[in-house]
Structure 1
């Protein structure tokens, strides 16, 4: 059964003194669940669509969640993106805790590929998905599609942007990029695989991204206190997607940010170790501003954000190449 939710969009830069103004007072609606046909998938692929109640020629964000999450998470991000004028589509990947697939399940070894296939299925099936979301297919701008992901979802989104996975011999794997995607954002993205912990090397051998082929424009977001139990390196591990990929790229570095960067999946959930709604708003609004610029909608908010970073107190910074 489908359900819907209506809320009020927030002002871009709320509590941050940015004054960028995207989405002030815009009402949004969410529709879920929508089933996307995927032959051979052991569990139905379901998505949630969140969008502004009004507006036409709307750009699209396809969002990939972190490990164990689902279409029901990340409202602090998704609601602000919809208020900023995006149609946001959130699939529930096979690793969602609601599917009960643990490390030792034989399906787990291929979930990283299924995640990528999920995003392809969503992008290829956008028309039908948006019909089921209440006629949104007439309000989409098909020339402006972006992918965004957090944590494992960032590696998944990175593959759509052109990153590949190295095998045990260091040979790049398949090209999973999608031609319809023009830009993206990677939040707390996996770094290179040469410093994986023994657990990660055994259970997550696919966590060996090669960013040298990730040519699509992207914003990388990293926290200065994000210390992963999957790598022996420190927080700089999460900046590899920026440093090792070709331009054009931008890096938003948040000095006090931990892995959920203030509570991206939800401020009060167990994974949130550094609860800070203002930090979440910064991440959400930076992604909106970057994508408005990268998708050639309006660059004013991204310019203003960069100007603020240049004169700020160093708690967060933006660099580009």
Structure 2
């Protein structure tokens, strides 16, 4: 299993401004990394709606302790920017979110230099994208998923050549099952996973019921079932939308607070990515074996 954050020293640097012409609001990121080590893999993380670079420490700290450099942008829909549902800019935020990830990936050396000389300690051939909720759809687009228009026609390809793998936590499902609220405010939440070919771990909670869809928790497994192989699925039977509190301790959105569940999600993602990126498969193998013997609280599937 990955090293516990209390046992490996990590450091976080913020804010770092990433050039993003025409964005209107500065693109700021936080970088969290282990203090030692070379040839480190990278995770670019996309937060859920309303969050920022200051969220998700329970995940990010464990990933850094496992040996990753983690870059977290603050997207336009962060509550600190005040762009709500009725703001005329909101309809294009989903595109700006994707552009944010591209800006970070295109200017990764700029980010790493300003984080304290990390540019000489990173392996640029081992880069992953991870996201939660709306961030999962954002990350999915960079992994190759597309957005269907009202007629069901897939939109443009937003994939990035630097990305080798990813993980999607509570990712938007597919089909004509959006609620009236979602149809009005979030019509872009119609992903097409058939083109998301890169290796991806999908994380879904068995009690995650969204007000954006008329389907139940299985909606959040579509990225696994409909995406082409190779794909893996971590199904957490008692998990709700924040999977135990991945955005932070004691936050208002967490209705299923469980630190052990958060650690499971964090360690599953780092273990999967270390294995998939060709670094160390031992943690992922151990988790897969433990899931098979768990007795139903969580399981791992692969195709």
Calculate the TM-score normalised by the size of structure 2: 0.99
> 2:52 is matched with which residue: 44, 64, 70?
70
Match of 2:130 in 1: 148
Which residue number corresponds to residue 205 of structure 1?
A: 187
SS in 2 for 1:181: coil
Residue in structure 2 matched with residue 165 of structure 1 by the alignment: 147
Q: Does residue 150 of structure 2 align to residue 174 of structure 1?
A: no
Aligned length: 302
Give distance in 2, aligned partners of 1:187 and 1:22: 22
Given that 1:193 and 1:207 are in contact with CA atoms closer than 8 Å, whether structure 2 keeps it comes out as no
5 Å-filtered alignment, 1:155-304, equals: 155-304=137-286
Shift of 1:193: 4.0
Unaligned runs of at least 5 residues, structure 1: 1-19
Q: Deviations over 1:30-87 (max 9, x none)?
A: 0000000101001000000000000000000000000000000000000000000000
Question: Paired residue for 1:128, among 110, 114, 119?
Answer: 110
Q: What's the offset of the Cα at 1:300?
A: 1.1
* Cα distance change, pair 199–184 in 1 and its aligned pair in 2 (3 A): same
2:21: which partner in 1?
39
Structure 2 CA distance for aligned equivalents of residues 277 and 161 of structure 1: 29
Q: Give SS of 1:148's match.
A: strand
The secondary structure found in structure 2 opposite 1:167 is coil
The TM-score with structure 1 as length reference comes to: 0.93
Equivalent residue, structure 2, for 1:6: none
Contact 1:63–1:91 under 8 Å retained in 2 = yes
Q: Flag the 1:277–1:27 CA change in 2: closer, same or farther, 3 A.
A: same
Is the Cα–Cα contact under 8 Å of residues 206 and 218 in structure 2 kept in the other structure?
yes
1:69–1:92 contact (8 Å) kept in structure 2: yes
Counterpart CA distance in 1 for 2:123 and 2:222 is 31
Alpha-carbon offset, residue 26 of structure 1? 1.1
